[in-house]
Structure 1
């Protein structure tokens, strides 16, 4: 009877080990997904980040990447701790779980906070950035971001194409009598197409680029917040 009891305990222990191994493997995959979301956000937004005065958006993405890396390390550590049954590894494992939980909650909270203040920030800063920094010395990253923004979202100017009338570059001789940058044109390959400020030639979008950029970033912030808080809730459950 003692032998049967020992055998049952052994079977139970083995099953528990494999169950924990499966959990840690899935946890490792989840870490890869979290890290991928963070990297995707930064790569997708790398140009547009230069148009934002606040760094909260970028910080949220970096936190997700950090959390993803720690999750993957924790998953491997959890597998080792399960099979080797080392208490020290298990302690480190649970400390890392706590760090991951806090990082993911922080990323979610930051994304939510920035979600609330994004509209005001864009209203206050996007137009100023466009008219003051476009095609200015040491502002190539801003110029590239603005051109990409206007072409990808088919818009012109912060609120409207008339914003470019205040541009430092448009007012200079370097603009070569353009009314708007060539990136506002529906067919930007035509040389000096920005000279003709007409709806048939340039994008005339209600709300300008602010509305387009805001919607784009808000969608990504929702993803960041959902991933961060969602994975944290899975850990708790």
Structure 2
């Protein structure tokens, strides 16, 4: 026999809660996918910071939310104490991990810029080399989308050999419609090169700052959902167990 009275109301409350949680997970996943397409895989440029890509973080969060919410929905609808307890434990574990990640990120936040600079400089030296097609594409998309060139500025490309010389930049650095295949050849010798002068490190920092607020807001919202979900799931779990004992 299913739960009755307040227990029945609580059952549907937990179900609706998890249904909304499930839908929000799909929304987060979709946002991450769109962002990944826009960013063009910037994570390839930052191997020291695998979760620095907002897109990767949102996709991972969305997948976890969808799976956990599904367990909660089924557990509430079927009045399955095992699934409800699993749902509760998953939420508690994720909440603890999120809290730990937030604390670690806050403590080491000052080191992020150094990791970004180091990774970008290493990636710059591997541009257009054998077996580095993904990194090359990521650099081109980064420079084209962010309207930037090099790490600190466009002269960083003078440390690499492009077009057979050390005075050139990739076509993705060229401004406006002047991004033909050879537009960056020898431009570092020109007084007024028609290329973006802003470094990509600053562009990425601006991006991270912008997405940090979005991720923080999403994280706070998810945290509140998790706390409410744990409370409702545990109350319903106890109601089902109590009813089973007295049945």
Q: Which TM-score bucket, shorter chain as reference?
A: 0.7 to 0.9
SS in 2 for 1:155: coil
Q: Determine whether 1:219 maps to 2:213.
A: no
Is the contact between residue 39 and residue 142 of structure 2 (CA under 8 Å) also seen in structure 1?
A: no
Provide structure 1 residue ranges, at least 5 long, that are not aligned to the other structure. 1-8
Q: Which of 96, 101, 112 is residue 102 of structure 1 equivalent to? A: 96
Normalised by the length of structure 1, the TM-score is 0.75
Provide structure 2 residue ranges, at least 5 long, that are not aligned to the other structure. 229-247
Provide the rounded CA distance (Å) in 1 between the counterparts of 2:73 and 2:117.
50
Which position in structure 2 is the counterpart of 1:4?
Answer: none
Compared with structure 1, are the counterparts of its residues 40 and 10 closer, same or farther at alpha carbon in structure 2 (3 Å cutoff)? same
Q: Which of 114, 120, 137 is residue 130 of structure 2 equivalent to? A: 137
Q: What is the alpha-carbon root mean square deviation over aligned residues?
A: 3.2
Which position in structure 2 is the counterpart of 1:24?
Answer: 18
Which position in structure 2 is the counterpart of 1:147?
Answer: 140
Q: Which of 142, 154, 161 is residue 161 of structure 1 equivalent to? A: 154
Compared with structure 1, are the counterparts of its residues 144 and 64 closer, same or farther at alpha carbon in structure 2 (3 Å cutoff)? closer
Q: Which of 182, 189, 192 is residue 192 of structure 1 equivalent to? A: 182
Q: Determine whether 1:201 maps to 2:208.
A: no
Q: Which of 72, 80, 91 is residue 78 of structure 1 equivalent to? A: 72
Q: Which of 179, 192, 196 is residue 168 of structure 2 equivalent to? A: 179
Q: Which of 85, 91, 98 is residue 91 of structure 1 equivalent to? A: 85
Matched residue count: 222
Normalised by the length of structure 2, the TM-score is 0.72
Q: Determine whether 1:12 maps to 2:2.
A: no
CA displacement 1:61-85 (0-9 Å, x = unmatched):
6565444334323333333333332
Is the contact between residue 104 and residue 231 of structure 1 (CA under 8 Å) also seen in structure 2?
A: no
> What pairs with 1:42-57 in structure 2 (closer than 5 Å)?
42-57=36-51
Provide the rounded CA distance (Å) in 2 between the counterparts of 1:48 and 1:36.
18
Shift in Å at residue 211 of structure 1? 0.7
SS in 1 for 2:99: helix
Compared with structure 1, are the counterparts of its residues 50 and 67 closer, same or farther at alpha carbon in structure 2 (3 Å cutoff)? closer
Shift in Å at residue 165 of structure 1? 1.8
Shift in Å at residue 54 of structure 1? 0.9
Is the contact between residue 37 and residue 64 of structure 1 (CA under 8 Å) also seen in structure 2?
A: yes
